[in-house]
Amino acid sequence: MSEPVYTFFAAASRGVAPLLSAELRALGAEQVDRTGAGASFRGTLAMGYRVCMWSRMASRVLLQLARVHAATADALYEGVLRLPWGEHLAPTGTLAVRFNGTTAEIRNSHFGALRVKDAIVDHFRGAHGSRPSVNLERPDVRIDVHLYKAEAVVSLDLSGGGLHRRGYRVETTEAPLKENLAAALLARAGWPAIVARHGSLVDPMCGSGTLLIEAAWMAMDRAPALGRQDLGLLSWRGHDAQIWSLLEEEARERMAASRKQLPAITGFDADVRAVRASLANLERAGLAGAVHVERRSLADSVIATGRPGLLVTNPPYGHRLSDEGGVRALHAELTTRLRSHYGGWRAAVLTTTPEWAQSLGIECLPETFANGPLECRLLLGDLPGPALATPAKERAPADAYRGSGGMGDGTGAEMFANRLRKNLKTIGKWARRSNTSCYRLYDADMPEYAVAVDIYQGTEKTWAHVQEYRAPASVDPGRAAGRLQEVLTTIPQVLEIPGDQLYFKVREKKRGTTQYRRLTAGGGAFREVTEGPCTFLVNFTDYLDTGLFLDHRLTRSMIGDMAAGKRFLNLFAYTGTATVHAALGGARSTTTIDMSQTYTDWAIRNFTRNGMSGSRNLVEQTDCLQWLETPRRDRYDLIFLDPPTFSNSKRMERDSFDVQRDHAWLIRKTMKLLADGGVLLFSTNFRQFQLEESELTGIACQDISRQTLPKDFESNPRIHRCYRMTVA
């Protein structure tokens, strides 16, 4: 006697259904019929069990029990009541009902689920005098009802809580990728074929490690449901334990035969919490030591060994970063790293920003993937090797967003390159002649390329720090992305530096506590540069600014010239660079005050690099405004006052600080600390700043903004305002 054949339905999220259909056919399912929410198929109970054991794409597997007439709520009730529920559930068991679909009478899913539950309970009460109870968390059986027009399909959920819940997730990061979506992305990217040719896999932003684990399980032929004890079929009254036992034995044998062939799989993340979550999940998944995970920033996420293979990642989207600018910076950094280090690899990037396919040089697939509530696209393709990369001047650029003279004829990238070369001849020559190692090379000279390019020269390397000015909302994102990638491709070529020595950020107006917010989870490398007699540490990855404000170069030099024998106060000191100039200029003592522990620690590191002893150089981390309010006996001969434009940090005692509104009060307070004959230098980068001299009676103010404007900032004379103040 032949085994009975059943109708099953495997559910999957949007975009995964085509991959699920192919997977079902590969598993041996028959009459596979794809829908938007998954695929139906026919087969024996053993086939349904096999799909539960091996499907990496399905979120649930439903065994169809019956189709019942459901034109009315009463008809639905009667149809469900007549089904042989004793074959599926014990009279004292537990159940949960999932219901979807509506009719004119059944207007919401809660009401429909309630009627189905009532029918099942009444069936048992009438037949056995007892009734099962509801357990939404861990029922013996889950009943799924799909209502369409006048018919309801009643099914048993063989998967229980969901096949995507593999059981290895001990810790998570924000917005983790669902396991079955991760598997679908890997399949779509061709990971099985890459495994067959012994290729490697890298995820440079691995989060809690879902892509790494799914890739490893696919490579080692590990059945995703092996060892799970929470599947719905296991507590189903009609469960065939022998079939399941044979499938488990087969799965263990296949895994044992393939595990030793596991390729190199590596994950990086800048967030130590993500690395910790990945390691915990890998251990639960049986992969401790088999997959390498390391804390690294995106800029440093390059593997030293391993055959070219697949780079796959699910980078953070806008809601997971501080702002959209962070997304642009992240994608640009990813593009730079891929082009610099992963030539010859296959790249797969899940994103809500499909226009970045052009800058990455890969294809945006037409299908849409639902990642939670977000509609995402997969960017997929083979990255050109270094020898195959097309120089910017030979590549036709995308049509750009236009400033006062936008180009769309393919000449834009070459014009940008020519402007950089011209600036290198003029500004670069001036920098060499004046022994300036850190300077601004380009500052939105061409409105179509609205970026600032700063050069930082160390003893052995040169770095480019690129900041994109925020494009207006009217600019098409695809055009902006094309222009930006031309910039990021052209700069290393013109400067003759490797791509990993270029760092990119988005420069936009910040307010309140976002002004100095950390951009990454930390861990970015410090680089050493010089400025006159001083040595400074800069950081290109962790913050919007690098730790060295280049437009204050002449101001710092002036402080060094004025400081001999003086008691110097640096208020809102940032990383203490002005203090270093003062100390090396012969200051009798220095006091450095900043609200940020990060920046005061950074200042101390700068002091150490310059041989400054702690006895004469006091550093204090405190609210500068509160510090001024505290009565003090100390007086200073030279004060540098460079407050933020705006701040409402939680560390502040005052509700907020606004430099235009509050500068007169701040200056008056600070002037009280001046010794006889002392000088206060007040500086601000607020470009619309207007000094309220009428509120500064008894204070002589001299505008020295022009005198403190470096040559490399002459095209932008309002970059800062600077005043020399003394007691009148």
Chosen domain end from 382, 413, 446: 382
What is the sign, positive or negative, of the torsion defined by CA atoms of 547, 552, 556, 557? positive
In a domain, 102, yes or no: yes
Other beta carbons less than 10 A from residue 435's beta carbon: 9
pTM exceeding 0.85: no
Instruction: Check whether residue 72 and residue 189 sit in a common domain.
Output: no
* CB proximity list for 229: less than 8 A, separation 6 or greater: none
Instruction: Check whether residue 13 and residue 138 sit in a common domain.
Output: yes
CB 380 within 8 Å of CB 363: yes
CB 168 within 8 Å of CB 285: yes
CB 538 within 8 Å of CB 456: yes
Confidence at residue 485, expressed as pLDDT on a 0 to 100 scale: 74
Q: How far apart are CA 181 and CA 185, in angstroms?
A: 6
Instruction: Check whether residue 467 and residue 355 sit in a common domain.
Output: no
CATH number assigned to the domain comprising residue 406:
3.30.750.80
In a domain, 97, yes or no: yes
Task: Count the residues in the chain.
Answer: 728
Distance, CA of 36 to chain centre: 29
State the total domains in the chain: 4
Instruction: Check whether residue 403 and residue 293 sit in a common domain.
Output: no
Chosen domain end from 382, 415, 441: 382
Strand 589-594, strand 617-621: pairing: parallel
Q: How far apart are CA 173 and CA 279, in angstroms?
A: 12
Q: How far apart are CA 682 and CA 726, in angstroms?
A: 11
Amino acid at 29: A
Q: How far apart are CA 422 and CA 31, in angstroms?
A: 67
In a domain, 331, yes or no: yes
Residue with the two structure tokens 């700069």? 491
Confidence at residue 405, expressed as pLDDT on a 0 to 100 scale: 34
Instruction: Check whether residue 213 and residue 362 sit in a common domain.
Output: yes
Confidence at residue 498, expressed as pLDDT on a 0 to 100 scale: 83
Q: How far apart are CA 482 and CA 335, in angstroms?
A: 12
Tokens at 90, concatenated: 């014990």
Q: How far apart are CA 671 and CA 692, in angstroms?
A: 15
Cα of first residue to Cα of last residue in the chain, in angstroms, is 110
Domain containing 668: what range? 526-727
In a domain, 163, yes or no: no
Q: How far apart are CA 185 and CA 229, in angstroms?
A: 26
Instruction: Check whether residue 150 and residue 190 sit in a common domain.
Output: no
Closest listed residue to residue 564, CA positions, set 583, 580, 579:
583
CATH number assigned to the domain comprising residue 717:
3.40.50.150
Strand 201-203, strand 310-313: pairing: parallel
CATH number assigned to the domain comprising residue 31:
3.30.2130.30
Q: How far apart are CA 260 and CA 648, in angstroms?
A: 56
Chosen domain end from 330, 357, 382: 382
Confidence at residue 129, expressed as pLDDT on a 0 to 100 scale: 86
In a domain, 153, yes or no: yes
* CB proximity list for 324: less than 8 A, separation 6 or greater: 318
Using only C-alpha atoms, the chain has a radius of gyration, in whole angstroms, of: 33
CB 141 within 8 Å of CB 89: yes
Instruction: Check whether residue 553 and residue 475 sit in a common domain.
Output: no
Q: How far is CA 232 from CA 32, 54, 113, 228, 495, in A?
A: 23, 15, 19, 10, 62
Residue 171 has what DSSP assignment?
S
CB 104 within 8 Å of CB 112: no
Q: What DSSP letter does each residue of 52-119 carry, written as one string? A: HHH-SS-SEEEEEEEEEE-SSHHHHHHHHHTS-GGGTS-TT-EEEEEEE---SS--SHHHHHHHHHHH
| pLDDT averaged per 10 residues, the chain (length 728) | 90 90 96 91 97 97 96 94 96 95 88 95 91 92 93 95 90 80 96 94 94 96 94 96 97 88 90 92 94 87 79 73 57 78 91 80 90 89 61 32 36 87 95 95 91 94 90 66 79 87 73 44 76 96 90 97 98 97 97 95 96 90 94 96 84 74 96 97 96 96 97 93 96
Maximum CA pair distance of the chain? 110
Confidence at residue 354, expressed as pLDDT on a 0 to 100 scale: 83
Amino acid at 675: A
Q: How far is CA 297 from CA 305, 461, 521, 528, in A?
A: 18, 19, 8, 19
Instruction: Check whether residue 336 and residue 371 sit in a common domain.
Output: yes
* CB proximity list for 149: less than 8 A, separation 6 or greater: 103
Other beta carbons less than 10 A from residue 513's beta carbon: 13
Other beta carbons less than 10 A from residue 535's beta carbon: 16
Instruction: Check whether residue 723 and residue 615 sit in a common domain.
Output: yes
In a domain, 707, yes or no: yes
Instruction: Check whether residue 403 and residue 378 sit in a common domain.
Output: no
Instruction: Check whether residue 581 and residue 629 sit in a common domain.
Output: yes
Closest listed residue to residue 40, CA positions, set 153, 184, 116, 180:
153
| Segment (H or E) for 456 | strand 451-457
Closest listed residue to residue 500, CA positions, set 334, 305, 383:
334
CB 145 within 8 Å of CB 134: no
CB-count exposure of residue 373 (10 Å: 0-12, 13-18, 19+): exposed
CB 400 within 8 Å of CB 407: yes
CB 263 within 8 Å of CB 200: yes
Q: How far apart are CA 619 and CA 576, in angstroms?
A: 9
Instruction: Check whether residue 362 and residue 432 sit in a common domain.
Output: no
Q: How far apart are CA 391 and CA 20, in angstroms?
A: 41
What is the sign, positive or negative, of the torsion defined by CA atoms of 371, 207, 330, 602? positive
Confidence at residue 398, expressed as pLDDT on a 0 to 100 scale: 30
CB 515 within 8 Å of CB 647: yes
* CB proximity list for 173: less than 8 A, separation 6 or greater: 207, 208, 271, 273, 274, 277
In a domain, 215, yes or no: yes
In a domain, 513, yes or no: no
